[in-house]
Structure 1
Amino acid sequence: MARVLAFAVGAIPFAFVGGSIQLPGAYYRPLVGVVLLMSGVRLLWPRELKSNLQPEDPPIWVGVLCGIGIGFLSGLTGTGGGIFLSPLLLFLGWSDTRSASGVAAVFILCNSVAGLLGNIAIVKALPPNLWVYAIGAGMGALLGTALGIQWRTPMILKALGFVLLIAGLKLIGVY
């Protein structure tokens, strides 16, 4: 729980700030897309991650600083931030795969709410199909939890890698 708090303390206010900025996608989409593609390729690379061998918690101040960056970026892009947090936790050896999934789920919920509130502060309205997205997110969370419990770590890493590849390709405009 302390791991989530360190990242959330930095992320939540900056997700609000990022969500309140109307930045043209031509600026941030290619950059974020390439980062996600690189993360996805690394997760699909057949090599053990340090985090699955000996995970260590980051210093709290590092978690807060990383949270600031992730929160701002996720607010700008309209994502929950889990696609940025999960690879960071795994690549820097701060969490094993299963724990990273749980940390990311809590983080995404908090960050998404903050980013949405930031967007509402500027736009002064909720998206008309918000209920559809909320139902989809809830169903995805249930399915992800069920699969995360049943799947072995290599399969979870492959699934995360494919999700990152899909998100990266979408952001750079492949589809």
Structure 2
Amino acid sequence: MDFTEIFLSNWNIILSFLAIAILYASVGFGGGSSYLAILALTSLAYTEIRATALICNIVVVTNSYILYHQKGYYNYRKVLPLVLISIPMAFIGGYIHIEETLFFILLGVTLFIASIAMLTNKQDTQKDAIQKKNIATNLSIGGIIGFVSGLVGIGGGIFLAPLLHLTKWDQSKKIAATASIFILVNSIAGLSGQFSNPSLSLNLSLVSVLACTTFIGGQIGTRLSMKFINPISLKRATGILILFVSIKILVKHLPV
């Protein structure tokens, strides 16, 4: 199948991925949860869904990480405990082979929780009173979110960022930067775990098209976010979309 045929037969998915990449890159995320939401409504194998979403996640969030690093938003001594345990836990989650119905139920629940987090989280642009967290707390947060992220096939930033805001972990821009690196390392770890599982197979042509699409979207979103876009409004709209899809998935796959 050539790329023209791939585009014509999957144009709705490709355009959706472009819009998602623009949307999520504007707030420092990769878009993994929404990629899963879109792919879950297709005929792709569920093992392929997780890997495809993570590949696109990595493509988008790498650019965000580079940008935040260049602007000096990372305090690596503070970030390290969050990602230290999350990496092996995401690998383990990605390696675990789960039954198809269970996967979709976990996906639906995960997307539902993520949508509620996005709809209820209010990102304060003012300098908050930062609360200090001990290393054990950061390790626990990173490990739990990392495992769930690898199991379902997302980077985990969509859970981490609202939690860090609620606990006043740091300033808003530094939280977005932290979520970005968290998504990057856990997406790589989760994808590595999936590639270690012999049951994984991918449509490389489709993945290549989607990766290029999300790269373009990520570039656009990162630049738009600096000048024009209100991140809170975008997160609300995305949260509503994910909520709708999560309910649709759960209705379809939960036993009656």
One fold, TM greater than 0.5? yes
Indicate if the aligned counterparts of 1:80 and 1:107 stay in contact, CA closer than 8 A.
yes
Pairing partner for 2:135 from 54, 60, 63: 60
> After superposition, what is the alpha-carbon deviation per residue over 1:70-104, rounded to whole angstroms, capped at 9, x for unaligned?
11111011111111111111122113322221111
Indicate if the aligned counterparts of 1:50 and 1:93 stay in contact, CA closer than 8 A.
no
Does residue 139 of structure 1 match 2:216?
Answer: yes
Task: Return the alpha-carbon distance in structure 1 between the equivalents of residues 214 and 87 of structure 2.
Answer: 19
RMSD: 2.8
Pairing partner for 1:86 from 161, 181, 185: 161
Task: Return the alpha-carbon distance in structure 2 between the equivalents of residues 10 and 51 of structure 1.
Answer: 30
Greater Cα offset, 49-58 or 99-108 = 49-58
Structure 1 residue 173, shift from structure 2 partner: 2.6
Q: How many residues are matched?
A: 170
Task: Return the alpha-carbon distance in structure 2 between the equivalents of residues 4 and 104 of structure 1.
Answer: 10
Unaligned runs of 5+ in 2: 1-75
Indicate if the aligned counterparts of 1:41 and 1:161 stay in contact, CA closer than 8 A.
yes
Task: Return the alpha-carbon distance in structure 2 between the equivalents of residues 166 and 4 of structure 1.
Answer: 30
Task: Return the alpha-carbon distance in structure 1 between the equivalents of residues 228 and 174 of structure 2.
Answer: 14
Task: Return the alpha-carbon distance in structure 1 between the equivalents of residues 248 and 90 of structure 2.
Answer: 24
Task: Return the alpha-carbon distance in structure 2 between the equivalents of residues 144 and 62 of structure 1.
Answer: 32
Task: Return the alpha-carbon distance in structure 2 between the equivalents of residues 61 and 27 of structure 1.
Answer: 31
Task: Return the alpha-carbon distance in structure 2 between the equivalents of residues 91 and 54 of structure 1.
Answer: 11
Structure 1 residue 135, shift from structure 2 partner: 2.9
Task: Return the alpha-carbon distance in structure 2 between the equivalents of residues 75 and 51 of structure 1.
Answer: 33
Change (3 A) 1:61 1:140: farther
Task: Return the alpha-carbon distance in structure 2 between the equivalents of residues 136 and 2 of structure 1.
Answer: 34
Indicate if the aligned counterparts of 1:39 and 1:161 stay in contact, CA closer than 8 A.
no
Pairing partner for 1:105 from 163, 180, 183: 180
Partner of 2:12: none
Structure 1 residue 50, shift from structure 2 partner: 10
Task: Return the alpha-carbon distance in structure 2 between the equivalents of residues 160 and 68 of structure 1.
Answer: 25
User: What fraction of aligned residue pairs are identical, expressed as a percent?
Assistant: 26
> After superposition, what is the alpha-carbon deviation per residue over 1:8-45, rounded to whole angstroms, capped at 9, x for unaligned?
112110100000112332431232133113212213xx
Change (3 A) 1:124 1:34: closer
TM-score (norm 2): 0.57
Structure 1 residue 48, shift from structure 2 partner: 7.0
Tell me the secondary structure at the aligned position of residue 122 of structure 1.
coil
Change (3 A) 1:147 1:96: farther
Q: Look at both structures and tell me which one has the larger radius of gyration over its CA atoms.
A: 2
Greater Cα offset, 69-78 or 48-57 = 48-57
Query: Would you identify which runs of 4 or more consecutive aligned residues in structure 1 move more than 4 Å?
Result: 47-52
Does residue 150 of structure 1 match 2:227?
Answer: yes
Unaligned runs of 5+ in 1: none
